[in-house]
Structure 1
Amino acid sequence: MAAGMSSDADPAKLTDRLGNRWAVLETSFKFHASCRHTHPAADALLSILEEYHLNAGDIAHITAHVHQAAIDVLGTITNPQTVHQAKFLMPVTLGLMAVHRRASLAEFDGVLTDEKAHAFFGKVEMAIDDEVDSAYPARWIGKVTVKTKDSRTLRARVDEPKGDPGNTVSRDEIDAKTRRLVLYGNVVEKAAWKS
C-alpha cells in the first residue's frame, strides 16, 4: 500500500516509537470545509479581517502566498459549476472568509448563488512564496497580502493552520463547529423530506 501511495515510502515509520508515540495527538482537525491547501491562507486572511475590522467591501485585492502544490491542486478555474469545484478554489474560500468569516458546509452550499462571495473570484490570486514552498509539506505556512480600497497594504501570516497540533481548536470551537454541522444536517434532512 505504501508503494502504491508514495514514491518515497518508509515502512520503518510504522513502528517508530511504537507504544510511546501516539499519532492521534498529531492529528489535524479540518476547520474549514474546503481543500486543505486553502486553509493556511484562509486563516491568515481571517486574522487581517479581525485585526483591522475589515468588511468584504473594504477589500480590493488578495494575494495568497502559497507553495507549488497548492497551485497544482487548486488550479485555475475561475467560475465553479459545482460546490465540489468551489471547495478546490482559493478565490472561493477566501471570498467566503471575507464575506461570512468562515467557509463551512452551509456557506459552500450557497456559494454558487452568493453574489458577495462571487465578487471575490476575480480579486484573489495565488503567488509562489519561497519560504512557504520550501517549508511544505513539513509545515503549512499561510501568508496573505490584502490591498484595501483605501490604498492600504496589509499582511498576515500563520505558522500553522487552525486545527493543526500546534494551533489546535479549543473546546468551544469544536463545540461551535459540531453545533453548526448538526444544524446544517437538520436543514438538509428537512429539505430532503419536503421534496
Structure 2
Amino acid sequence: MTDIERKARAREATARLGGWSAGLDVAGVPEAVLERLSLVLLDTLGVTALGAALDEQRALRAAWNAPDGPAPLIGGGRSATVDAAAWLNANALVALELDEGNKYAKGHPAAHGFPAVLALAAERDATGADTAAALLAAYEVAARFGRAARLRAGAHPHGNWGVAGAAAGCARLLGLDAAATAAAIDAGAGLPVAGHFASATDGNPVRNAWMGASNVSGLAAARMAAAGIARNTGTAALSLGDLLGELDTGELTGGLGERWDVTRGYFKRHASCSFTHPAADAALELRGALDPSRIASVLVETHALGAGLASAEWDGRLSAMFSTPFAVAAALLDGEVGPAASGPGRLDDPDLRGLARRVRVAAAADLTARLPDERPARVTVVLDDGATLTREAPNPVGDADHHPLDERDVVRLLHRWLPGGSALIGRAADLARDLPTLRRVGEPLRGLAGLEN
C-alpha cells in the first residue's frame, strides 16, 4: 500500500472518530460504561494525589513555579494555569506506576488525556455531563489508537498513541464540530513522543514527563483546531504508522459506539509495571506456604512483552518498579508491593536485593501465545532442600477479566497508601460518582488540590 493510500485510510478513520467524539452525549451511554468511567476517574484522582505527595513531585512543583490559575494541582495544595496543571498532574499520576491501564491498548489511555481534560474543565467550569463525555472520548480514542499502533521494538508507549485521545477529549470539551474534532485528533497523532523503553528500566524520570507532554500536546492540538488552523490529513499513518511502527487503521473505528474499551481495563494493587503483576500475584499465593529465608532460587516465566523486565539491579524507585525480580522479592518478603516497597528506606535493604538476585526471568512460548487476552506468568520457587512450588496467574489481579476491583477496593487501597488523605479521597469519590449530573465542575475540581497548604 502506498503512503497516499495509507494516509487516505487514516484520514477517513480519523474523520469517523471526530464525528463520534463531537456527538458523544452521556445521556446515550450505557449505565455500566458510566459506572466504569466513574471508577477510572476515582482511581486517576486518587493516584495523582498519591504521586503528588512524593518528595520529588513537591520539588518539581516548586521548580516549576507555575502562576496561580483555575486548575487544581491535585493533592498539591493549590491551583495553577491549565497547561501547568495538566503537565504536573500527569507526571504525578504515573510516578508510582499505579495508574489504570488497558491490556488491549497496550498502555494507559486515561493517563494520556484525563489530566488535560480535567484542567480544561476546571478553567471552563464545564458541566458534569460535558466533562464526562470529554473524559470518555479521551479514553476511547486513545485506546483505539493504542490498539491500532504497533510500536517498534524498544519504543515505550507513553506519550505517543494516546495524544490523539487527549486531543479528542479537549476538543469535545471545547464544543468543536465533527470536522474540527477530527482535525484535533489528527494534530494530536502528529505530536508523538519517541521515547525508548530503556528510560524506564534505567530509572530515568523523563519517562514520567512523556505523559505530561501528551496532555499538553492534546490541549495544543484542540486549540489549533478551535483556531481553524489544524487539518485532518491522515497524519497518524506516517507518524505512528511509519516513523514509530505500524498502524492498523481498521482498529481505530471497529465497533465504534458498541465496544467500550473503558470497561476492559485494569486497576493496580502493586506499585510496579503491570508486566510484573502476575508474577507478584503468584508469589503472594506461594508466600503462605514457604519461609522466604529458605528460597534458593525463583524462576519467573512470562510472556515476551514482559520478559525484558529481568534486571535484579536498581538505582532508584523507577528502575525498581520496572524490575520483575524486585516485585517478586518484595511480594515474598513483605506480602505486598505497595509504594513503600520502592521508597528510599527500603530499596537498599540487603535481604530485598539478595532475594531479587536469586530471581530469574524467562520468556515462555506457551504464555506468549495467550496474548493479548491474557498477560500470564508462572512462578516456580526452589527451596534449599530441593523442593519446588509453582503457581500461575493468567492476568493481574485488578484486570476486568481477572478479579476486578470495585469502588470499595479502590477506596480501600487509596486510604492505605495515602495517610491523612481521607477528606480528599472522599471528595474524589463523590465527584467521580456524581459527575454526569453535576451542574458545574470548577469548584469540585479545585477542591481536590487537597493535602498541601
Q: Secondary structure at the match of 1:119?
A: helix
Shift of 1:163: 1.3
**Kept after mapping to 2: 8 A contact 1:46/1:98:** yes
Provide closer, same or farther for how the CA distance between residues 172 and 101 of structure 1 changes in structure 2, counting only shifts above 3 A.
farther
> Is 2:325 the counterpart of 1:91?
yes
> Is 2:267 the counterpart of 1:29?
yes
Provide closer, same or farther for how the CA distance between residues 173 and 17 of structure 1 changes in structure 2, counting only shifts above 3 A.
same
| 1:68 paired residue number | 304
Q: Comparing 3-12 with 162-171, which one deviates more in the overlay?
A: 3-12
**Kept after mapping to 2: 8 A contact 1:43/1:142:** no
1:48 & 1:170 partners in 2: Cα distance? 25
| 1:58 paired residue number | 294
Instruction: Count residues in correspondence.
Output: 184
Which of 140, 143, 149 in structure 1 is aligned with 2:384? 149
Shift of 1:30: 2.2
1:11 & 1:95 partners in 2: Cα distance? 41
Q: Which has the higher strand share?
A: 1
TM-score, scaled to structure 1: 0.82
Q: Secondary structure at the match of 2:356?
A: coil
Within 5 Å, give how 1:151-170 maps onto structure 2.
Answer: 151-167=386-402, 168-170=404-406
Provide closer, same or farther for how the CA distance between residues 24 and 48 of structure 1 changes in structure 2, counting only shifts above 3 A.
same
- Taking only the aligned residue pairs, the percentage that are identical comes to 27
What are the superposed Cα offsets for residues 112-162 of structure 1, whole Å, 9 maximum, x if unpaired?
Answer: 222321221221001221111222344201111011234321111111211
Within 5 Å, give how 1:1-195 maps onto structure 2.
Answer: 1=189, 2-3=236-237, 4-5=239-240, 7-50=245-288, 52=289, 54-72=290-308, 74-76=309-311, 78-109=312-343, 110-167=345-402, 168-183=404-419
Q: Secondary structure at the match of 1:68?
A: coil
Relative contact order: is structure 1 or structure 2 higher (C-alpha 8 Å, sep ≥ 6)? Answer: 1
1:5 & 1:44 partners in 2: Cα distance? 35
TM-score, scaled to structure 2: 0.38
2:418 & 2:283 partners in 1: Cα distance? 26
Provide closer, same or farther for how the CA distance between residues 130 and 100 of structure 1 changes in structure 2, counting only shifts above 3 A.
same
**Kept after mapping to 2: 8 A contact 1:33/1:103:** yes
Q: Which has the higher helix share?
A: 2
1:179 & 1:14 partners in 2: Cα distance? 37
Unaligned runs of 5+ residues in structure 2 are 1-188, 190-235, 423-451
